[in-house]
């Protein structure tokens, strides 16, 4: 199965099992907007809890807030979003499709990397045991030529983006002979800047309505509350403010399912530090965030850092955490050193003094900021991509299983009476009713036990608890594990402890030390 087929299957699976639905589907959906179903919302909530607790509980100096989505419109002038939150867009005149110019070029760069990888693989087959990859890459003329061309284009793109040179971006597309994937032609328009913020109006039109924006990031709600939190929480630098909430961007290249949405959710933490200490903290947060991802056990090699070609208008250092999705390594989280840009500008635009008095140095100053910003939906996609598997079993049957880490699984256990009589359903209900105060538990008595196991595998339930006639006699049940399908007899009294040992977030937090 190719990665593309795998991804298609995953998308279909998400719908079939109540994880993710297209928005307003009865009206044929709304592009790049999705709804979370009964399983998806549980997974999402667990991911948010993993993030929130790891930030606010495990760090004495980080507190949370929940700011409004609507903010005073001046906020977005101060933050630079009104002037500079743009994507460079280009249209193909034949297909009438619109693309991000930088994304077209990045796709071309990825193709060159694929070409090189193919050459290497061919040579590996040809040379067998004695193959020396490093030497081959350094000496093969064909690889060298492709790599040189790729690097040159890469450099040109970085220069054009940094200089905001739209004509130069277009020229790269022309020079690389990039064609529209739909029409196959190279009939391109000029490149134009397009602001990504959604606008709406407050107040009735008669009174003179004001344009306001749907926030494109949650961070500004933190910056405008810096003094409120610092003073009321008696916070001392360095300290952080965390927030989870919706953000909105009028994305043009809307594809890859929930990877790029127009309405999405962010988990952001702004960490305020002394000027001059920001690089030390930036490095520290890179490490901390990477270990948060890796603790989930999806394989350390599936993550990498990717430094930005073009620094955003506010940043002096920026890197992305990328995950190896079925469609390649892509950003899930950004870690940015935002300098004093935001607080400094809010001070300027609001006319209020936004400074911190440092009792250790006796000085007042505008703090510097290191931000960690992760998309909840990209995290959901990361977990689902890593978890999805189709397996052939020893008995010749197949199963689809979501190997979601037990701590994040939507349903922790299913209680299944072997038959619908002889008092087994009653005992199964009693077990469920005891466990439900602490865990999300399902009760299921329909169909054969094998079918019920399959249904639980498909939503990623780590434990199936089967109640049979022996249970009535000796107070034990069969516990079947999702990943190994191993079964063992467990006393009913021991169920709580067994589930807790696997689903408690504690086991993840222990890895973060």
Which position among 79, 256, 266, 319 is part of the footprint of ligand ATP (CB under 6 A)? 266
Q: Using only C-alpha atoms, what is the Rg of the chain?
A: 26
Site string for ligand ATP, 46-85 (x = CB under 6 A): ----------------------------------------
Contact flag: residue 340 with ligand ATP (CB under 6 A):
no
Which position among 116, 374, 414, 415 is part of the footprint of ligand ATP (CB under 6 A)? 374
| Only segment of 326-334, 344-352, 404-412, 499-507 that touches ligand ATP (CB under 6 A) | 326-334
Q: Which of residues 468-487 bind ligand ATP (CB under 6 A)?
A: none
Contact flag: residue 91 with ligand ATP (CB under 6 A):
no
Which position among 251, 309, 322, 445 is part of the footprint of ligand ATP (CB under 6 A)? 251
Which position among 91, 377, 444, 468 is part of the footprint of ligand ATP (CB under 6 A)? 377
| Only segment of 106-114, 123-131, 374-382, 445-453 that touches ligand ATP (CB under 6 A) | 374-382
CA distance 25 to 29: 4
| DSSP element (H, E) containing 143 | helix 141-162
Largest CA distance in the chain: 80
| Only segment of 119-127, 292-300, 331-339, 455-463 that touches ligand ATP (CB under 6 A) | 331-339
Which position among 42, 91, 278, 333 is part of the footprint of ligand ATP (CB under 6 A)? 333
CA distance 24 to 110: 34
> Residue 93 is encoded by which pair of tokens?
């005149």
Question: Could you tell me the CA-to-CA distances from 239 to 61, 302, 340, 365, 413 in Å, in that order?
Answer: 5, 31, 15, 15, 39
In the bound state, the residue with its beta carbon closest to ligand ATP is: 375
Residue with tokens 């999805």: 388
Q: Smallest distance from the beta carbon of 318 to ligand ATP, in angstroms?
A: 8
- 498 within 8 A of 463, measured Cβ to Cβ: yes
Contact flag: residue 403 with ligand ATP (CB under 6 A):
no
CA distance 179 to 195: 25
Give Cβ neighbours of residue 422 (< 8 Å, ≥ 6 apart): 469, 472
CA 33 to chain centre: 15
Q: Smallest distance from the beta carbon of 349 to ligand ATP, in angstroms?
A: 21
CA distance 496 to 465: 12
Q: Smallest distance from the beta carbon of 403 to ligand ATP, in angstroms?
A: 22
CB atoms within 10 A of CB 166: 18
Contact flag: residue 261 with ligand ATP (CB under 6 A):
yes
- 142 within 8 A of 120, measured Cβ to Cβ: no
Which position among 51, 108, 223, 264 is part of the footprint of ligand ATP (CB under 6 A)? 264
| Only segment of 113-121, 368-376, 410-418, 440-448 that touches ligand ATP (CB under 6 A) | 368-376
Site string for ligand ATP, 274-313 (x = CB under 6 A): ----------------------------------------
Contact flag: residue 159 with ligand ATP (CB under 6 A):
no
> Residue 433 is encoded by which pair of tokens?
């009713």
> Residue 208 is encoded by which pair of tokens?
């003179």
Contact flag: residue 378 with ligand ATP (CB under 6 A):
yes
Contact flag: residue 249 with ligand ATP (CB under 6 A):
yes
> Residue 416 is encoded by which pair of tokens?
């299944």
Contact flag: residue 339 with ligand ATP (CB under 6 A):
no
| DSSP codes of every residue in 36-82 | E-HHHHHHHHHHHHHHHHHHHTT-TTEEEE---SB--THHHHHTTHH
CA distance 19 to 23: 12
* CA-based nearest residue to 384, from 16, 76, 133: 16
The reply to whether omega before 238 is within 30° of 0 (cis) is: yes
Residue 243 vs 373, nearer CB to ligand ATP: 373
Residue with tokens 């993550």: 303
Contact flag: residue 332 with ligand ATP (CB under 6 A):
yes
| Only segment of 74-82, 164-172, 329-337, 420-428 that touches ligand ATP (CB under 6 A) | 329-337
Q: Smallest distance from the beta carbon of 359 to ligand ATP, in angstroms?
A: 34
Which position among 88, 221, 326, 334 is part of the footprint of ligand ATP (CB under 6 A)? 334
Give Cβ neighbours of residue 210 (< 8 Å, ≥ 6 apart): 73, 201, 202, 203
Q: Smallest distance from the beta carbon of 331 to ligand ATP, in angstroms?
A: 5
- 234 within 8 A of 333, measured Cβ to Cβ: no
Which position among 13, 44, 215, 260 is part of the footprint of ligand ATP (CB under 6 A)? 260
Q: Smallest distance from the beta carbon of 100 to ligand ATP, in angstroms?
A: 9
Binding residues vs ligand ATP (CB under 6 A): 249, 251, 260-261, 264, 266, 331-334, 373-375, 377-378
């Amino acid at each position: 199965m190719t990665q593309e087929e795998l991804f298609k299957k995953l998308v279909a699976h998400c719908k079939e099992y109540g994880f993710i639905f297209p928005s307003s589907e009865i009206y044929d959906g709304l592009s790049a907007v999705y709804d979370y179903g009964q399983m998806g919302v549980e997974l999402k909530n667990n991911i948010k809890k993993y993030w929130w607790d790891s930030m606010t509980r495990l760090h004495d100096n980080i507190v949370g807030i929940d700011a409004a989505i609507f903010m005073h419109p001046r906020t977005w002038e101060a933050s630079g979003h009104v002037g500079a939150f743009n994507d460079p867009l280009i249209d193909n005149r034949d297909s009438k499709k619109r693309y991000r110019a930088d994304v077209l070029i990045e796709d071309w760069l990825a193709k060159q990397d694929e070409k090189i990888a193919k050459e290497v693989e061919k040579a590996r087959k040809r040379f067998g045991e004695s193959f020396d990859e490093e030497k081959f890459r350094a000496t093969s003329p064909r690889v060298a030529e492709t790599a040189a061309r790729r690097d040159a284009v890469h450099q040109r793109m970085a220069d054009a983006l940094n200089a905001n040179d739209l004509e130069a971006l277009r020229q790269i597309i022309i020079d690389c002979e990039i064609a529209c994937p739909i029409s196959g032609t190279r009939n391109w328009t000029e490149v134009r800047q397009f602001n990504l913020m959604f606008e709406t109006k407050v107040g009735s039109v008669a009174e003179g309505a004001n344009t306001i924006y749907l926030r494109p990031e949650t961070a500004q709600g933190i910056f405008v509350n810096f003094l409120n939190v610092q003073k009321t929480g008696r916070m001392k630098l360095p300290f952080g403010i965390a927030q989870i909430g919706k953000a909105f961007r009028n994305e043009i290249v809307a594809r890859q399912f929930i990877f790029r949405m127009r309405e999405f959710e962010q988990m952001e933490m702004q960490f305020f530090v002394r000027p001059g200490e920001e690089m030390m903290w930036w490095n520290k947060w890179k490490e901390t965030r990477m270990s948060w991802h890796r603790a989930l056990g999806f394989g350390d090699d599936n993550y990498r850092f990717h430094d930005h070609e073009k620094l955003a208008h506010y940043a002096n250092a920026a890197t992305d955490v990328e995950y190896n999705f079925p469609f390649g390594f892509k950003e899930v989280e950004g870690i940015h050193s935002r300098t004093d840009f935001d607080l400094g500008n809010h001070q300027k635009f609001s006319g209020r003094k936004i400074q911190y008095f440092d009792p250790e140095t006796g000085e007042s100053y505008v703090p510097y900021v290191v931000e960690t910003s992760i998309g909840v939906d990209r995290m959901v996609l990361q977990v689902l991509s890593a978890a999805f598997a189709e397996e052939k079993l020893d008995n010749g049957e197949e199963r689809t299983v979501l190997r979601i880490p037990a701590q994040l699984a939507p349903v922790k256990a299913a209680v299944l009476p072997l038959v619908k009589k002889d008092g087994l359903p009653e005992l199964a209900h009693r077990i469920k009713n005891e466990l439900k105060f602490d865990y999300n538990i399902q009760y299921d008595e329909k169909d054969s036990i094998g079918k019920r196991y399959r249904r639980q595998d498909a939503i990623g339930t780590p434990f199936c608890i089967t109640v049979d006639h022996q249970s009535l006699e000796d107070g034990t049940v069969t516990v079947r594990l999702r990943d190994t399908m191993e079964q063992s007899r467990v006393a009913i009294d021991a169920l709580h402890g067994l589930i807790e040992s696997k689903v408690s977030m504690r086991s993840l937090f222990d890895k973060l030390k």
